[in-house]
Structures are given as C-alpha cells and as structure tokens.
A = this chain, B = another copy of it.
Amino acid sequence: MAGIKEVAQKAGVSITTASRVLNHVDYPVAAAARKRVEAAARELHYSPSALARALVTRHSGIVGVLVGDMVDPYFAEIARGVEDAARKAGYLVIVCNTDRDPAVERRYVATLSDYRVDALIFVGGDILTQSERRKLKQVLAVATKRGMLVVACAGEHAGLPAIDIDHRAAAHDMTEHLLGLGHQRIGFIGGPADVSTAVQRESGFRSAMSAAGLQPTLIARGDFTYNGGFEAARRLLSKEPPTAIFAANDQMALGALNAALTAGVHVPDDLTVVGFGDTSAAQHARPSLTAVGMPRHEMGLAAMQAVLAALESHTTRVEPRQFPYQILVRKSSAAPSAARAQGELVA
C-alpha cells in the first residue's frame, strides 16, 4: 500500500531524501527531516519493495540452492549451513529439489536466472554424462554472463569452483581402515553410476583394494536411498557374503545395516558396515555407524561465505576450498571373525 512516495509526502520531503534515510545510507540529512521520515515510515507501515529495489540495483539479495532432495539429511544440513550464512548477511535462499534430474535442474537454473538471484549454489555431485554436462554449462554460461555467481558444494558440478572434500581420498582411507581391520572380502554399495561423487567414492574404494592386491568384485549399486541400500545389501549378502560393506552414503549404509540385522547377521560381529557422510541418523543408529565424516553444515556456511566474498569484492569467480574429512570409527565396524573371514559362516 504505502510506497516511498507516500512516506516522503507525509514527511514533507522528497523521495530522494526519504530513500536516503530509509536506506541508512551515509549521506547528510537534516536530523529533523530524518526523524520525520522515520516516523512517517513507521506510521504507514512502510516496507520497501525489494523487487523494485532489486530491479534498479541489479542485486536481488536472493541465492538459489539446488539440492537433490532436501529431505535427505546430507543435503538438508548443507542447505542449512547456507541458509545460516545467508540470514546473517541479509540474504534469502530459495531451495530447489532437483531429484537429481538434470532436466529439472536446468529448468530451475533458468527460473532462478529469471529471478536474477545473486548466486547459484549446487549441492551434491553432478551427472557425468557429457551431454548433460554440456547442456548445464550452456545455461550456466548465460547465467554467469548475467552476473550470477555459481559455486558447487559437496560435489563436483560442471567444473564449477567447489567447496568440497576429496571424496576419492576419503573413500580410499575408509577402505584402508577396513583393510587394516583385517577385512578382505569387502563389499561396496555404490551410488548411481553417473553421479560424480558416487563415482569418485567408488574409485577410492577400488584403488585402495587394488593397492592391497584385492579384487574389488563385490559391488552393488543403489540410488543413495535407504531402500536402495537395503536391497543392495541383500543382494551382496545372498551370494558370497562379504565381511564388510562400505556404502557410498549414510542412507544406504543404514539400509544395509538393517538388511543385515533383518537377516540375522550381527553387526559388527558378523558384518562390518560403514557409511559416508556422518549424518546424525548415522550417529544415532544402533549400532552407531562408522563413517567418513565431513563438516556439512560448515561447508554450507563456507559456500555462502565464498559467494558473499565474491559479491563484495565484485569478483566474478568464487574461491574454491577443500575441507578435511575424517574416518569416524564407531560401533558398526570391527575385525572380521575368524570363521567368517574364511567364508565358513553363511548368513
């Protein structure tokens, strides 16, 4: 209802003056006028149109966050980090669930582009297909030309600067942890074959196995969901049961854990199960899950902060950053029992 014009009128000053005091800009304004403007604004319940403002300043104060699924705690925690940093800086965040569908993702990028968001934050790995990457890069090209900042978080994405951890190395280390425990028949539950993070984690697993002179043969694949992990574990457990299962993310590890328990396989006595991500659900599982830990909330914060820094310095490139990961040993991993290690015990 009440625009700046009304406020100015009521305060008996020009729109310019009203704008100046309302924006707290560092500009000389008579104390009296200032007071009148403030009073008028208050009385009229004036609230500046961020839209109009954004139109002229070419700065919307909104950032878009693209996640696979905000219900997955892995994504939720990162998005929360972004939002925390955004709020502190006075930014708003639009959350978009892509369901890992490149087409949906592209459409969102286009829409967010229409809204002239100040930045786009891609959370999670991208789809490796050449054609998909190319298409995404195309829309991103026009987005960046428009001045939009783009950054990836917790996963490689179309070659964008990323706030990330070394997924491959982390998976490699975790595999070594398993190896160190004495496991030889280690099963791996990978994520979708075309998702970059899934591929990197699997690559780390394979390299560690090879380095140990072992064939990474027990590999199943899931879709990063609890059920996907549950089913994959059942498959793995049905033939030559491994003594340990390394799932490419926590959700699947949890599914695997329950699949084992359901099948009467004791964890960790009969089977070790480890995950990747260290979401709180993993920490609260029974037994608690050994997993690769990564500072998700902090990474979300960092992604937004990197965007903020670039925005302030009028840089167009966001500074990438590598975070350390950890191997969090908890109750779901242990040395293989002698019998099981030799494959004598069958579930």
Q: Which residues of A contact B (CB under 8 A)?
A: 1, 45, 47-52, 54-55, 60, 62, 69-71, 73, 76-77, 79-80, 83-84, 87, 90, 92-97, 110-116, 142, 145-146, 226, 254-255, 258, 261, 280-281, 284-286
Contact = CB atoms under 8 A, between A and B. Distances in A.
A286 B286 contact: yes
Given A258-B284, A286-B261, A110 B47 contact: yes
How many subunits of this chain does the assembly comprise?
2
A51 B47 contact: no
Q: 6 shortest A-B CB distances, which residue pairs?
A: A50-B114, A45-B142, A50-B115, A95-B95, A71-B76, A51-B55
Nearest to A107: B87
Nearest to A147: B1
A83 B60 contact: no
Contacts of A112: 92
A254 B284 CA distance: 8
A1 B147 CA distance: 9
A89 B159 CA distance: 31
B115 A95 contact: no
Chief secondary structure at chain A's binding surface: helix
Contacts of A84: 97
Contacts of A73: 71, 73
A69 B69 CA distance: 15
Nearest to A279: B71
Given A1-B145, A145-B1, A95 B114 contact: no
A284 B251 CA distance: 10
Contacts of A51: 51, 54-55, 60, 115-116
Contacts of A96: 83, 87, 92
Contacts of A90: 111
Contacts of A77: 71
B286 A146 contact: no
A97 B83 contact: yes
